[in-house]
Chain A
Amino acid sequence: MELEFKNLSKKEYDVTLIAPISLKLKPGIFNTILGPTLSGKTTLLRLMAGLDKPTSGEIWHKNINVTNIPVQKRNVAMVYQQFINYPSMTVFENIASPLRVKRIPENEIKLRVQKVAELLKISPLLKRRPSELSGGQQQRTAIARALTKEAELVLLDEPLANLDYKLREELREELPRLFEETGATVVYTTTEPAEALLLGGYSATLHEGRITQFGPTQSVYKDPKSLIAAKTFSDPPLNTVKVEKKSEGIYLDGGVHWKTTKYLKVPNGDYILGFRAHHLKLSLTKADDLKLSGKVLVTELSGSESFVHLQSNENNWVVHAHGIYNFQQDEKIEMYLSLSNCYIFDAEGIRVYDE
């Protein structure tokens, strides 16, 4: 029951909104599309749903071309960032609405609504109207409706973005499990790397209407194939610095360098080194760590962690450290970086490997 997108693209007035995308999504697996606002997430979801017609490309479902089948006839459910429910209906009727359309018998409707309400912990609210619910409860109702529809494709467009931090945490944990059981193909969009990691499954990084990488979430995170994919999947932002690769090692500006035989087969020349904020350490962890220095711009403490924003030569970096480091503005600090925690990209932003 694979869902396949073949060269799907969307243009409007010569502006490319979605560059040709080819993806195969497996059923029962959570797929996350990770990208900043305006990267094309919603446009892509609308194409997947069949709400908008693609400029080119095809959508295949269970080996049938469904590109020209209208959305009403496809078994698709969508949940939006803004909670959308029927305001005049009770929570029960909201959840039951797709079943009524399908003319399911009354007693079965009752059973299915109750089961889904139970899963989403809104059973006591079934008689209320949406206006009498909190934001989290309204979104649970919308999700319950998507679940009860038993759609084969469920599209969730930043469904937790308008919820409180803690509610988000709770629902984020429940969502993959809820949909896993239904066997539906789920596509979920988010702007937050941490959310993609917590949801697990597969992830695609989206940048200016292009999918830059797709695969199991952990491997996209740990093994980004390009600078853009690495940047999209880093929060705090990816730290970068220009480096020169020579035969005897890798040199940063200012002459500090790793003496290394790694990347031996990579041609000498200019590259970009990228590393995540938590890999820039405030103490030595490995003997061959490179010692760097910088000037503190501002320190943010979160109670258990520190975000140290600093300037090292011409580069602005962030250190994300566990523990409290209350550095003062303009304080000089030393940092340590292991080459094994770094990614190297060529001038085009394509990752080069040590092989």
Chain B
Amino acid sequence: MAEVRLQHIRHSYNANAGEKTEYALQKIDMVWEDGGAYALLGPSGCGKSTLLNIVSGLLHPTEGNVLFNNEDVTSTTTDQRNIAQIFQFPVVYDTMSVHDNLAFPLRNRKMGHAEIEHRVNTVAEMLDLTELLDQRASGLSADGKQKISLGRGLVRSDVNIMMFDEPLTVIDPHLKWQLRTKLKQLHRQVGFTMVYVTHDQIEALTFAEKVAVMFEGEVVQFGTPEELFLKPNHTFVGHFIGSPGMNFLPCELDSGFPVFAGNQIKLAAPITKLNSYKKIELGVRPEFVKLDTKGFPVNITRIDDVGRYRIVKAECSGHNFNVYVPEDIEIPSENLRLSFDPLYTHVYCDGWLHDERKSA
């Protein structure tokens, strides 16, 4: 097990890269603590797989260093790094039994028979594979095979870090729940440092203690699921996390408070310090917009019923936004008025969260 430190990592697939846009990774500085559960979250092309390959040693970064327990491993090969990796599609030896699949990495390391049996049985127990040990791996369903891939990492004691690359893509929704819960329990049990790469916010947020949201080769926020939800650092985080994502509305500032379509919007604290900016926006999540008799008037354009809640699409002065309305609250058919929860209404300048403490 290891603490992983990424220092000033930059990477370009073009050897003579000059322009910023030619870098798949702009500049990454991050620390994954020993035994932590982390996720890299972002859309295709955001650089998350590039970063994963740099950590596993498949790619050598153009700039920067990778440290395992404060030891520089940037120039070491993948097999020297002792990494267990679980991919989108399960990797199993089809002709071998489940037992031999699990024993394979240990036999390669020339471990004694008794020790191998002990470990294989322990891990099979953890993964509910005990009954299937004598079966051929080829006969298993996708989730069974993915458990084997996982098990081959778990039997080893020399693993520095366990990495998952979209591991649940081929798994059925009902089984996803089981496997995800299992993964979380296993993390507690074995205490490996685990990193989970995905574009699926639910998988990232539920698995990880801290999530790095990546956008165009940058980590735009590295925070707990709660932080990403309550205080997105960048409009991309607001948009990408949440379903639907955060509402963004153009606004102007008047005596420290944003004004949207002629309505002054309350914040937790007025804005007194402001850097120069090109674009200023108000950000509020659908969950923090309330039906309120004293709010500003809007028109309803559409209501989507998702069972547990409804998403009301509202319009005000040509701007559309989403409102989250729980199952048991009635939506008035006319004269709808809305207000924003000041605690969770934020101002974004050129995409970045305005933070009074950090501003000039």
Residues in chain A within 8 A of chain B (CB atoms)? 36-37, 134-135, 164-167, 169, 191-194, 197-198, 200, 218, 221-222, 235-237, 276, 278, 297-298, 300-304, 307, 309, 318, 320, 322, 324, 329
Choose from B180, B184, B230, B308 the contact partner of A320 (Cβ within 8 Å): B308
User: Which 4 A-B residue pairs are closest in the complex by CB-CB distance?
Assistant: A303-B229, A300-B206, A303-B225, A302-B205
Residues of B contacting A307 in the complex (Cβ-Cβ under 8 angstroms): 206
Q: Is the CB of B308 within 8 A of A278?
A: yes
Name the one of A191, A304, A309 contacting B287, with C-beta atoms under 8 angstroms. Answer: A304
Give the residues from 219 to 258 in chain B that come closer than 8 angstroms, CB to CB, to chain A. Answer: 225-226, 228-230, 239-245
Q: Would you give the 0/1 interface string for B36-51, flagging 1 where the beta carbon is closer than 8 Å to chain A? A: 0000000111000000
Name the A residues within 8 Å of B207 (CB-CB). 300
CB within 8 Å: A-B pair count: 87
Inter-chain contact A191/B226, CB cutoff 8 Å: no
Kindly list 7 other residue pairs between chains A and B, CB separation below 8 angstroms, not including A164-B199, A301-B206, A318-B177: A165-B200, A166-B43, A197-B307, A276-B307, A300-B180, A303-B205, A304-B287
Cβ of B183 to closest chain A Cβ, rounded Å: 10
Chain B: how many interface residues by the 8 Å CB criterion? Answer: 40
Q: Are B174 and A36 in contact (CB under 8 A)?
A: yes
Q: A165 with B177: in contact, given A37-B172, A301-B206 (CB under 8 Å)? A: no
The A-contacting residues of B in range 166-196, CB under 8 angstroms, are 172-174, 177, 180-181, 184-185, 188
- From A164, A197, A221, name the one whose CB has the most chain B CB atoms within 10 angstroms: A164
Q: Find the A residue at minimum CB distance from B311.
A: A198
Q: How far is the CB of A329 from chain B (nearest CB, A)?
A: 7
**Contact A235–B200 (Cβ < 8 Å):** no
Chain A residue nearest to B228 (CB atoms) is A303
B-chain residues with CB within 8 Å of residue A134 when the two chains form the complex: 44-45
* Cα–Cα distance between A237 and B179 once the two chains are bound (Å): 13
Closest to A167 in B: B43
Listed residue (A167, A197, A302, A318) with the most chain B CB atoms within 10 angstroms of its CB: A302
Q: Which of B177, B188, B239, B242 contacts A303 (CB 8 A)?
A: B242
A169 B174 Cβ-Cβ under 8 A? no
* Interface, chain B (partner A; CB < 8 A): 43-45, 172-174, 177, 180-181, 184-185, 188, 199-202, 205-207, 225-226, 228-230, 239-245, 285, 287, 304-308, 326-327
A298-B181 in contact (CB<8A): yes
Cα(A193)–Cα(B173), bound, Å: 9
Known A-B contacts A169-B243, A236-B177, A304-B287; A164 and B43 likewise in contact (beta carbons under 8 Å): yes
Which B residues lie within 8 Å of A297 (CB)?
A: 181, 185
Q: Is the CB of A198 within 8 A of B304?
A: yes
Contacts of B287 in A (CB 8 A): 304
Q: A301-B206, A302-B202, A304-B287 are in contact. Are A218 and B305 (CB under 8 A)?
A: yes
Interface centre among A134, A276, A303, A318 (most CB of B within 10 A): A303
> Do A237 and B174 touch (CB < 8 A)?
yes
Contacts A36-B173, A134-B44, A165-B200 known; A309 to B226 CB distance under 8 Å? Answer: no
Query: How near does chain B come to A106, taking the closest CB pair, in angstroms?
Result: 36
Most buried by A among B229, B306, B307: B307
Would you call B180 and A165 a contact (CB within 8 A)?
no
For the complex, give the distance between the alpha carbons of A301 and B206 in Å. 5
A298 lies within 8 A of B173 (CB) = no
A288 to chain B, nearest CB (A): 16
- Beta-carbon contact of B240 and A166 below 8 Å: yes
Contact B43 A237 (CB under 8 A): no
Closest to B199 in A: A164
User: How long is the Cα–Cα vector from A186 to B241 in the complex, in angstroms?
Assistant: 30
Query: Does A304 contact B181, Cβ atoms closer than 8 Å?
Result: no
CB-based contact A300/B181 at 8 Å: yes
**Complex alpha-carbon distance, A36 and B228, angstroms:** 31
Give chain A residues whose Cβ lies under 8 Å from the Cβ of B225.
301-303
A298 and B229 alpha carbons, distance in the complex (Å): 21
Chain A residues in 8 Å Cβ range of B241:
303
CA distance A301 to B174 in the complex (A): 18
Q: Which one of A37, A191, A301 lies within 8 Å of B205 (CB-CB)?
A: A301
Q: Is the CB of B201 within 8 A of A191?
A: no
CB neighbours (8 Å) of B172 from chain A are: 36-37, 191
State the CA gap A221–B306 with chains docked (Å): 10
Contact in complex: B201, A165 (CB < 8 Å): yes
Q: Report A-chain residues with C-beta under 8 Å of the C-beta of B230.
A: 303
A135 & B174 in contact (Cβ 8 Å cutoff) = no
> What is the bound-complex CA distance between A209 and B307, given in angstroms?
26
Partner of B199 from the list A165, A221, A276, A324 (CB cut-off 8 Å) is A165
Residues A301 and B226 in contact, CB atoms below 8 Å apart? yes
A65 to B317, CA, bound (A): 52
| Neighbouring B residues of A165 by C-beta, 8 Å | 199-201, 243
Q: Knowing A198-B304, A301-B225 are in contact, say whether A191-B206 is a contact too (CB < 8 A).
A: no
User: Could you say which of A198, A276, A300, A324 contacts B184, with CB atoms under 8 Å apart?
Assistant: A300
CA distance A298 to B184 in the complex (A): 7
| Alpha-carbon gap, A167 to B240, bound state (A) | 10
CA distance A298 to B228 in the complex (A): 21
Chain B residues positioned under 8 Å from A164 (CB to CB): 43-44, 199
Contacts of A322 in B (CB 8 A): 326
Distance A198 CA – B322 CA, assembled complex (angstroms): 14
